[in-house]
């Protein structure tokens, strides 16, 4: 029996808390760790993060671009890390932000197939070729129990150039939220389709009440977001998955220090 991503996410959050840790091995971080900006350094970095966090954090979110820059060897490191993270009980959200049409989008969505070499639980996608462009990904996710997080209201400075544009009386960002809401069944305790909303926004200029799915909230830590910001924007009782990257990864390379950093954030989120 296929268990939908929304149910797996609910179970993981209930057991481990809502924290999602991004895995972003950019050049400076690899150098700061002393492992070197190389394929071997990438492997050592990924091994340490997975060892430290996969057994206790609900979600790990590797950014695929940092692995692609090392070519096929980098993707092999990612494949191995993802498989080991999932085997240790963490859900894996692939931060790929894919967006295209037709057979190309269907191919991107294959990351959600359990027989894919880089099989993950969920992935981030971009809706800016139109809502229908994501239909192949939605179909694949539903068939295999995967999840999608769709970019809706990001907090980069010029995001409003597009996201505040209007379609009729709604902003583009609101259209994205309403579209994703339609993919979630009304009877689901938590749907498998969510949106990305930045944790550093000055205010929440969206109506999320009908979403019935999770909200991925990046921006905690190094980007300036705080737990207080999460509560200010989203209140309580909503399925929010806050994301921390550099504020945890900067504690490496010692696995115990990485684990301690993640536990500090988990503790703040629990209070």
Residue numbers annotated as active site: 97
DSSP assignment string, 175-220: HHHHHHHHHS-TT-SS-SEEEEE-TT-SS--S--TT--S-EEEEEE
Q: Give me the residues paired with residue 218 across strands.
A: 243
Taking alpha carbons only, the member of 225, 169, 221 closest to residue 197 is: 225
Alpha-carbon span 157 to 217, nearest angstrom: 16
Taking alpha carbons only, the member of 89, 71, 77 closest to residue 48 is: 77
Query: Is residue 130 left, alpha or beta, with left meaning phi > 0 and alpha meaning psi from -120 to 50?
Result: left
């Amino acid at each position: 029996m296929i268990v939908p991503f929304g149910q797996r996410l609910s179970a993981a959050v209930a057991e481990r808390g809502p924290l999602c840790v991004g895995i972003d091995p950019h050049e400076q971080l690899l150098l700061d760790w002393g492992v070197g900006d190389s394929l071997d350094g990438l492997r050592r970095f990924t091994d340490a993060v997975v060892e430290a966090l996969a057994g206790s954090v609900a979600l790990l979110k590797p950014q695929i671009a940092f692995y692609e820059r090392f070519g096929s060897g980098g993707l092999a490191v990612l494949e191995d890390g993802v498989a080991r993270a999932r085997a240790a009980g963490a859900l894996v959200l692939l931060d790929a932000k894919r967006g295209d049409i037709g057979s190309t989008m269907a191919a991107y969505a294959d990351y959600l197939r359990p027989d894919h070499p880089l099989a993950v639980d969920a992935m981030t996608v971009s809706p800016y070729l139109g809502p229908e462009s994501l239909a192949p990904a939605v179909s694949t996710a539903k068939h295999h129990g995967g999840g999608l997080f769709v970019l809706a209201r990001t907090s980069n400075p010029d995001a409003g150039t597009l996201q505040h544009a209007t379609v009729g009386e709604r902003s583009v960002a609101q259209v994205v939220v309403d579209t994703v809401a339609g993919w979630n069944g009304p009877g689901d305790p938590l749907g498998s389709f969510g949106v990305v909303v930045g944790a550093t926004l000055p205010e929440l200029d969206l109506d999320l009440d009908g979403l019935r799915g999770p909200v991925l909230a990046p921006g905690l830590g190094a980007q300036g977001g705080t737990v207080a910001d999460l509560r200010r924007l989203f209140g309580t009782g909503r399925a929010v998955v806050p994301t921390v990257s550099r504020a945890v990864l900067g504690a490496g390379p010692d696995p115990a220090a990485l684990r301690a950093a993640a536990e500090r954030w988990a503790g703040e989120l629990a209070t």
